[in-house]
């Protein structure tokens, strides 16, 4: 009898990582705890408990000072918060693949989408993922998805984001997607089945079709072990799921020429080794992994240069990133093939456990490795996104990298987009260098992928944004409504202020209570002003704005401050033939008659006064009804004796 062991039997990366973290914690922490079993294997759990690790059922059992390990299956957001509130230290052993699923559903809900998961609703991983959004729809398979679609409202099936339990059977996932794709148009799909799980299941399916019997080793509570058993039964009539060597079905295995051996991701190597050893002691010849690799060689497609592959990041070094491709070749990404930006660090681009799509640059079958590129696959995706953006008239974001002949260049995820000067959004005389290093939004107007030429427009995006803002202003404008605007241009009679896509006119008389000759005395182009609507005409698209604070009446300020007989320091604002107007308080002027300017006869006010001059003047009369004030400088001057002839005259 020949025993053939599957290559990928036993711990996967996430489980091995969690068990190691648990073992380290049991040695180093004073009060080590784990929230539930670290993995679905009672033998591993028992060993950890022997080393001092205690299992708690929930955060409520944790105490201050405890070091609590969160298992590979992950936990909800509230669990982290509850443990921190109780003063416990959180040691997160969540599988990186599971953590990615948590981030996806969290982001989906933030975008206003409905997260959907295909998996076992009672599995700890699924319950943990559900703790990262307010409501997670869980379908165990295509039947449940179809049943929900029959009763769900039309709006409920729009905007679904679909993920998979990491240990889900591939056929269940694909059948469920077929159902959802028929009814849902706005669907986002994330294939989150663990690559190691898929490899393990593929190997098990192939091995089961080549042998007389299959032995699957693993804890009966382990979901991935149960799935392995189900998969093996599709290709082999005799499949036996056992927990350890004591459960080997000797009677059923007798007479079998070839027996396949595989194990779930939660099964330690020691138990698999024990099963093999026991079978060997029973005179069963174990050919081991070599036989399986010979079988795999018959059906595994070899990698070729130019292939697109999906792999899992297993290690990051300063010079390269190691990738598990789930095949006989080891994969690595040179640092210069990670990103178009040479300044970024590898760990800023990828993390251990990330599942990434890659481009095969070269395959070395002799040494057994494949050289991969992430930036090439990213570049292809960007070009696809840009071509789609032209069709859908989408707006893309980028950074202006340089001024070019006739315009500027915008980098959109590594692709150079030329923006002509006429489409830059700047005034005709402005220097293009003003845009360099700025983040801008651009609409793609022309794409020639063969020539790698892309043309875009910043101005088109700005115009659309301004039109939308203008529509918003006209839809809600009313007299007295206040806006914060920017001074765009200036004339001798006032300024034009942009209040959000629409320009309004502030007349010079509404700029200030004080008398001014030109708007530049109080404002400059580019200034920010708080304005209010005086009047508007939707048909003529005209808006009259004011800046003066109507809540403060200058005349009332004058009346509260001065009375007849008081002396005020006034500013000469205008000279006339009959006298001079002087500002007493901002917005209130008084008249100094020519006869009250000096204590002697003068030909014209300009002989004694000039505009802008400040002088002392006495308030000689106030007409409250007409709001007029009479002032006198002469009344404050010491009387000078007049010549005799003038007295007689």
Q: Which residues contact 288 (CB under 8 A, 6 or more apart)?
A: 3, 4, 5, 276
Active site residue 243: no
Of the candidates 583, 589, 580, the residue with the CA atom closest to the CA atom of residue 634? 580
> Which one of 30, 50, 109, 125 is the catalytic residue?
125
The conformation of residue 636, written as its DSSP 8-state character, comes to G
Give the whole-angstrom CA distance, residue 280 versus residue 495.
Answer: 96
Tokens 């443990």 identify what position?
Answer: 83
Contacts by 323-327 with C-beta closer than 8 Å and gap 24+?
323/356, 323/358, 323/372, 324/13, 324/195, 324/196, 325/370, 326/195, 326/196, 326/198, 326/199, 327/300, 327/302, 327/303
Contact 438, 447 (CB under 8 A): no
- Angle of CA points 321, 323, 328, to nearest 5°: 140
Q: Please, what is the end-to-end C-alpha distance for the chain in angstroms?
A: 150
Which 3 state secondary structure label does DSSP give 447?
A: strand
DSSP per residue over 377-429, as a string? Answer: HHHHHHHHHHHHHHHHT-EEEEEEEEEETTEEEEEETTEEEEEEGGGSSS-TT
Which 3 state secondary structure label does DSSP give 116?
A: strand
- Angle of CA points 256, 9, 334, to nearest 5°: 140
Phi first, then psi: give them for residue 51, nearest 5 degrees.
Answer: -90, 5
Q: Which two tokens stand for residue 90?
A: 């959180």
Environment class of 209 (CB within 10 Å of its CB; exposed 0-12, middle 13-18, buried 19+): middle
Q: How many CB atoms lie within 10 A of CB 595?
A: 12
Residues tagged active-site: 125
């Amino acid at each position: 009898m020949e025993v053939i062991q599957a290559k990928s039997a036993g711990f996967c990366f996430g489980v091995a990582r969690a068990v190691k973290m648990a073992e380290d914690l049991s040695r180093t922490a004073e009060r080590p705890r784990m929230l539930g079993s670290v993995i679905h294997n009672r033998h591993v759990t028992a060993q950890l408990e022997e080393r001092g690790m205690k299992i708690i059922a929930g955060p409520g059992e944790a105490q201050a000072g405890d070091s609590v390990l969160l298992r590979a299956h992950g936990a909800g957001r509230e669990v982290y918060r509850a443990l921190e509130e109780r003063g416990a230290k959180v040691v997160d052993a969540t599988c990186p693949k599971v953590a990615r699923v948590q981030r996806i559903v969290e982001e989906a809900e933030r975008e206003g989408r409905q997260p959907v998961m295909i998996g076992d609703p009672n599995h700890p991983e699924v319950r943990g993922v559900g703790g990262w959004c307010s409501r997670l729809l869980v379908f165990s398979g295509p039947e449940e998805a179809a049943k929900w679609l029959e009763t769900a409202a039309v709006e409920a099936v729009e905007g679904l984001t679909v993920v998979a339990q990491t240990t889900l059977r591939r056929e269940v996932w694909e059948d469920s997607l077929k159902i959802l794709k028929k009814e849902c148009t706005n669907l986002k799909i994330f294939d989150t089945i663990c690559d190691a799980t898929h490899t393990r299941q593929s190997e098990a399916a192939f091995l089961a079709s080549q042998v007389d019997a299959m032995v699957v080793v693993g804890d009966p509570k382990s979901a991935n072990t149960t799935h392995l058993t189900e998969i093996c039964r599709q290709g082999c009539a005799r499949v036996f799921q056992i927990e350890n060597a004591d459960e080997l079905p000797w009677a059923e295995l007798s007479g079998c020429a070839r027996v396949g051996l595989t194990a779930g991701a939660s099964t330690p190597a020691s138990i698999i080794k024990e099963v093999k050893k026991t079978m060997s002691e029973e005179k069963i010849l174990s050919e081991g992994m070599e036989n399986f690799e010979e079988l795999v060689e018959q059906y595994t497609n070899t990698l070729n240069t130019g292939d697109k592959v999906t792999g899992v990041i297993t290690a990051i070094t300063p010079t390269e990133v190691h990738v598990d491709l789930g095949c006989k070749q080891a994969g690595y990404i040179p640092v210069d093939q990670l990103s178009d930006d040479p300044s970024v660090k590898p760990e800023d681009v990828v993390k251990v456990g990330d599942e990434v799509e890659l481009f095969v640059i070269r395959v070395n079958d002799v040494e057994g490795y494949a050289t991969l590129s992430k930036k090439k696959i990213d570049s292809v995706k960007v070009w696809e996104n840009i071509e789609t953006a032209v069709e859908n008239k989408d707006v893309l974001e980028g950074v202006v990298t340089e001024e070019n002949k006739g315009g500027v260049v915008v980098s959109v995820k590594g692709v150079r987009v030329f923006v002509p000067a006429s489409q830059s959004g700047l005034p005709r005389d402005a220097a293009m260098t003003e845009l360099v290093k700025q983040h801008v939004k651009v609409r793609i107007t022309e794409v020639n992928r063969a020539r790698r030429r892309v043309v875009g427009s910043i101005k088109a995006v700005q115009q659309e944004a301004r039109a939308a803002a203008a529509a918003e202003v006209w839809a809600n404008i009313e007299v007295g409504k206040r806006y914060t605007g920017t001074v765009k241009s200036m004339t001798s009679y006032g300024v034009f202020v942009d209040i959000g896509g629409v320009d309004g006119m502030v007349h010079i008389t509404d700029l200030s209570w004080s008398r001014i000759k030109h708007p530049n005395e109080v404002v400059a182009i580019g200034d920010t002003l708080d304005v209010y609507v005086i009047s508007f005409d939707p048909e003529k698209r005209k808006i009259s704005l004011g800046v003066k604070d109507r809540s403060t009446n200058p005349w009332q300020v004058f009346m509260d401050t001065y009375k007849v007989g008081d002396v005020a320091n006034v500013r000469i604002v205008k000279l006339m033939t009959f006298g001079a107007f002087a500002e007493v308080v901002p917005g209130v002027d008084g008249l100094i008659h020519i006869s009250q300017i000096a204590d002697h006869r003068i030909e014209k006010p300009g002989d004694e006064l000039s505009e802008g001059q400040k002088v002392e003047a006495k308030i000689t009369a106030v007409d409250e009804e007409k709001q007029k004030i009479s002032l006198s400088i002469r009344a404050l001057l010491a009387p000078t004796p007049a010549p005799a002839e003038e007295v007689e005259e």
